């Protein structure tokens, strides 16, 4: 959530940033926020004046009574009662303005950094880098959903029977490949200094608001109505909320956490070839990296996370590219974001496998996640960052498709110790 200080001190910059994100009615919405803030401040100022007058008047009432000035004392009492009654209305007005302003702020996305490119859609994203190994497939190469059936790795029909579309059942070497990737990604994160967390996969509404999934993405989340809980779309939500309403010591930063969880997304409105097989699921496995950092160090943290994800793709021997997302294609909460995509040779398309984002103070302001500076003991909002390292479905799809040979599917060297086999045949 944007801070009032941010909006009042650099209003034009905020509006330009929101327009870069293609946020509708940016000027009007910010004007509403400023108007509500002015109402709140005016009411607060008047309340402060009223309180000062009540205090000063109350002090003289006793003295007037001692002096026998009963009428003046009664008039002073009446004045105190009048001020207190007026203050009730002012308090109500101030609380309402503050609530309306807070609710409006929840609907406003984060402001992108200057280095975020202009653009409205994915076509406007900028390719920053390409890497990985070139792939040569045998003739009549198969997409992963056919390979999964051929080698009995994943049963999509069984998933439909048990739950519905988008909930595959992994079997045999398919299940072992999943487990191998999970352990590989967690071990790599541990080696890079991330502390592993095993969080709940259901969260309350406060956690959803804390990281910005609510109210923006409520329609994409599975909601347990009876208990008012939500299935997590990513481990970002529970892990980042560990630090909600927490004041950290500066020496604790940066905090580096990682977590493996199942993730649940309704993906309402998704259809067509882009959702075939593992391309888009309602339930999937993912390892998430989360960092809490000081503002002056968060860009370095972001680069370290990007380097980590790139290193994973290199070890998996997959062709990849890194995209700097344009304003219109970024998430609601991100200030800057890079996507990693792997190339599916069989499908002839790029598959997104990770987004690595810096949220600046946007999530921290919602979470009230702060740190105490060693120099002057003042508190300041932290920066939060996260990224997938990695999401499994499309990694599995690319591994199966890009490593198919006439003899079977080759397992990358880095995964062989985790799988216990070097070929699926």
- Annotated binding residues, written as ranges, equal 234, 265-267, 288, 352-355, 386
Binding residues for ATP: 265-267, 352-355
> What is the rounded (10 degree) CA torsion for 326, 327, 328, 333?
120
DSSP H helical ranges for 151-297: 156-162, 172-191, 205-211, 236-240
- Rounded Cα–Cα distance for residues 30 and 201 (Å): 35
- CA 246 – CA 237 distance, rounded (Å): 16
Pairing of the two strands 283-293 and 379-381 = unpaired
Annotated binding site for L-serine: 234, 265, 288, 386
* Phi and psi, residue 43, nearest 5°: -65, -40
Residue/partner pairs of 115-118 with CB below 8 Å, 24 or more apart: 115/324, 115/336, 116/20, 116/324, 116/325, 116/326, 116/327, 116/330, 116/335, 116/336, 117/324, 117/326, 117/327, 118/20, 118/326, 118/327
Q: Check if the beta carbon of residue 255 is closer than 8 Å to that of residue 375.
A: no
The pair of structure tokens assigned to 224 is: 């347990």
Contact call for residues 86 and 50 (beta carbons, < 8 A): yes
- 295, 379 Cβ separation under 8 angstroms: no
């Amino acid at each position: 959530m944007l801070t009032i200080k941010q909006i009042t001190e650099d209003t034009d910059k905020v509006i330009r940033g929101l327009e870069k994100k293609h946020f509708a009615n940016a000027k009007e919405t910010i004007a509403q926020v400023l108007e509500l803030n002015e109402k709140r401040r005016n009411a607060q100022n008047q309340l402060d004046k009223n309180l000062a007058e009540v205090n000063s008047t109350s002090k003289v009432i006793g003295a007037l009574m001692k002096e026998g000035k009963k009428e003046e004392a009664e008039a002073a009492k009446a004045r105190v009662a009048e001020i207190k009654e007026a203050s009730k209305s002012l308090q109500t007005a101030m609380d309402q303005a503050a609530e309306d302003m807070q609710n409006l702020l929840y609907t406003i996305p984060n402001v992108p950094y200057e280095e975020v490119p202009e653009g409205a859609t994915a076509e406007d994203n900028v390719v920053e880098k390409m890497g990985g190994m070139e792939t040569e497939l045998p003739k009549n190469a198969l997409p992963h959903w056919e390979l999964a059936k051929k080698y009995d790795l994943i049963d999509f029909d069984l998933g439909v029977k048990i739950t519905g579309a988008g909930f595959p059942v992994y079997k045999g070497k398919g299940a072992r490949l999943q487990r191998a990737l999970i352990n590989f990604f967690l071990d790599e994160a541990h080696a890079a200094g991330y502390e592993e967390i095993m969080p709940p996969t259901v969260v309350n509404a406060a956690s959803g608001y804390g990281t910005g999934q609510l109210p923006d993405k409520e329609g994409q989340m599975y909601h347990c109505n009876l208990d008012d809980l939500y299935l997590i779309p990513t481990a970002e939500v529970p892990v980042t909320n560990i630090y909600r309403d927490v004041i950290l010591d500066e020496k604790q930063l940066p905090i580096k956490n990682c977590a493996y969880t199942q993730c649940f997304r309704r993906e309402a409105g998704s259809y067509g070839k882009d959702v075939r097989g593992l391309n888009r699921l309602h339930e999937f496995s993912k390892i998430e990296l989360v960092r809490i950092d000081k503002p002056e160090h968060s860009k370095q943290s972001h680069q370290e996370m990007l380097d980590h994800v790139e290193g994973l793709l290199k070890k998996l021997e997959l062709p990849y590219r890194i995209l700097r997302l344009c304003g219109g294609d970024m998430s609601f909460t991100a200030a800057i974001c890079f996507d990693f995509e792997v190339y599916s040779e069989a499908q002839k398309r790029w598959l997104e496998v990770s987004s690595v984002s810096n949220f600046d103070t946007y999530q921290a302001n919602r979470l009230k996640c702060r740190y105490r500076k060693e120099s002057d003991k003042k508190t300041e909002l932290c920066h939060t960052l996260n990224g997938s390292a990695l999401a499994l479905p499309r990694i599995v799809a690319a591994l199966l498709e890009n490593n198919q040979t006439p003899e079977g599917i080759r397992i990358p060297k880095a995964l062989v110790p985790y799988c216990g086999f070097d070929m699926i045949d």
